[in-house]
Amino acid sequence: MEAVTILEADLDSSEHQQAVLDLIDAYAMDPMGNGGSLPKDVKDKLIPGLKSHPTTLIFIAYANGAAIGIAVCFVGFSTFAARPLINVHDLAVLPGRRGSGVGRRLLAAVERRAREMGCCKVTLEVLENNHRALKVYAAAGFARVTYTEDAGGALFFAKKL
């Protein structure tokens, strides 16, 4: 099995910038993404937008020097816990690399960083028919959130830390 390395992206690095663009575009083309490539104007604005957003946190998975997976996250804040949280906005692995544990490794890197930051949880959302992702998230300890019995379950997934 080839070695997979997870790095926290440096958006000042042209290599990391290109990896982010390529991986997010590949994710956008997936039926569980956007069903088509990113428009040129979005591609042009993506890296500057991510760089200027004060809470951007990105992890890239590499194998044999090639970028094969990504977790684009943003730091938020829980008013109920008075602590930061990390929201996984995009988690994607190239189609030919799925099923090899890359997604789980990316989620583990996000969780490690969240613990280092003193976060109360890691959150994410997922399409209800994205059965592969649902299995990955469940295996990593994510579950549908219920804050109070009377309110029912939230349609947003979180993992308490």
Whether residue 138 is contained in a domain is answered as no
Whether residue 18 is contained in a domain is answered as yes
Whether residue 161 is contained in a domain is answered as no
Q: Which two tokens stand for residue 108?
A: 């583990």
Whether residue 159 is contained in a domain is answered as no
Alpha carbons 127 and 146: distance in angstroms, whole number: 18
Q: Structural domain of residue 85, as residue ranges? A: 4-118
pLDDT in tens, 68-126: 999 999 999 999 999 999 999 999 999 999 989 999 999 999 999 999 999 999 999 88
The CATH number covering residue 32 comes to 3.40.630.30
> Mean pLDDT over residues 28-55, rounded?
94
- In 3D, which of 59, 52, 129 has the Cα closest to residue 88? 59
User: What's the structural domain count of the chain?
Assistant: 1
Whether residue 101 is contained in a domain is answered as yes
The reported pTM is 0.91
Q: Tell whether the model's pLDDT for residue 31 goes beyond 60.
A: yes
Whether residue 107 is contained in a domain is answered as yes
